[in-house]
């Protein structure tokens, strides 16, 4: 199938093709490989991914006229606010979910159970970016130096790099108001993202991303204490069920002192190095 042939497909077939191609890229398959698998050009795949990153699920659908900003979203502004508050309030287990940390899958299941709305992992990614909780651009930056071993701290017993473990990149971030508030879930002053801290308080996020694109995170109001950051790592190793090598890629400078005592050693299960700055 050529790019020209793809454009000649019916609206439903083209929507399905775009969704499958973007989902493959989101799962970590290279754009070149996706282009080969689906019989389109790499440029076409890139255009589909870029459109999805700008518009979310709306990028897949046939265009309709006369729709106001925000009407295309699966969740209303109130529903989105509820999801954010639930995430910030605690771990997935508080909602009866099996995951130890928040993931795209956990959020999709939460939305299905609470609102009866089915959303895909790529759609969850779009919402997380829109909310500022997990920024896809930051994740790509974190994964960009996957060959860099980091800047190790002075070796401690039990902190040796673990062979055959899961490698992840970790960041401590804080949500920001998006540069273009018009991209929020509703228009004008009703946009819940134009004043994130007014709605949700001083939210801090610990997030880890694997080379396969899996994302695990925890959000809370206020800064993390060493014990809370240790719990994040314990939950991460528990959810993955294997040893974990962590490279810390972003950390608030005002909390650098915490790195003197964090993390607690988990011999054979956890190794942490730093590549800050």
Domain layout of the chain by residue ranges: 3-60, 130-274
Q: How confident is the model at residue 132 (pLDDT cuts 50, 70, 90)?
A: confident
More confident residue, 131 or 262: 262
SS (H, E, C) 24-56: HHHCCCCHHHHHHHHCCCHHHHHHHHHHHHHHH
Contact 273, 150 (CB under 8 A): yes
Q: How confident is the model at residue 1 (pLDDT cuts 50, 70, 90)?
A: very low
CATH class of 130-274: alpha beta
Above pLDDT 90, what percent of the chain? 27
Residues 193 and 187: their CA atoms lie apart, in Å, by 10
Q: How confident is the model at residue 8 (pLDDT cuts 50, 70, 90)?
A: low
Q: How confident is the model at residue 54 (pLDDT cuts 50, 70, 90)?
A: confident
Segment 78-117, tens digit of pLDDT? 888 899 999 999 999 999 999 999 999 999 999 999 999 9
Sheet of strand 203-210, all strands in order from the earlier edge strand to the far edge? 215-221, 203-210, 166-173, 244-250, 270-274
Using only the alpha carbons of the chain, give its radius of gyration. 20
Instruction: Name the maximum alpha-carbon separation found in the chain.
Output: 63
pLDDT of residue 154: 46
């Amino acid at each position: 199938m050529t790019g020209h042939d793809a454009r000649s497909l019916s609206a439903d077939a083209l929507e399905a093709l775009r969704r499958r191609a973007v989902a493959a890229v989101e799962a970590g398959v290279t754009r070149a490989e996706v282009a080969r698998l689906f019989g389109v050009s790499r440029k076409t795949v890139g255009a589909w991914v870029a459109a999805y990153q700008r518009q979310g699920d709306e990028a897949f659908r046939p265009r309709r006229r006369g729709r106001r900003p925000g009407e295309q979203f699966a969740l209303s502004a109130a529903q989105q606010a509820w999801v954010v508050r639930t995430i910030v309030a605690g771990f997935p287990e508080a909602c009866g979910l099996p995951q130890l940390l928040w993931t795209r899958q956990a959020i999709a299941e939460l939305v299905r159970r609470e609102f009866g709305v089915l959303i895909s992992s790529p759609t969850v990614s779009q919402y997380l970016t829109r909310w500022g909780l997990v920024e896809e651009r930051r994740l790509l930056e974190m994964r960009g130096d996957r060959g860099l071993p980091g800047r190790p701290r002075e070796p401690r017993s039990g902190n040796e790099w673990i062979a055959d473990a899961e490698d992840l990149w970790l960041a401590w971030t804080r949500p920001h108001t998006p540069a273009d508030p018009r991209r929020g879930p509703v228009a004008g002053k009703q946009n819940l993202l134009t004043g994130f801290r007014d709605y949700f308080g001083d939210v801090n996020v610990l997030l880890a991303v694997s080379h396969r694109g899996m994302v695990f995170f925890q959000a809370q109001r206020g800064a993390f204490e060493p014990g809370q950051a240790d719990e994040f790592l314990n939950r991460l190793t528990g959810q993955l069920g294997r040893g974990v090598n962590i490279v810390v890629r972003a950390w608030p400078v005002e909390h650098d002192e915490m790195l003197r005592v964090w993390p607690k050693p988990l011999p054979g299960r956890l190794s942490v190095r730093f590549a800050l700055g």
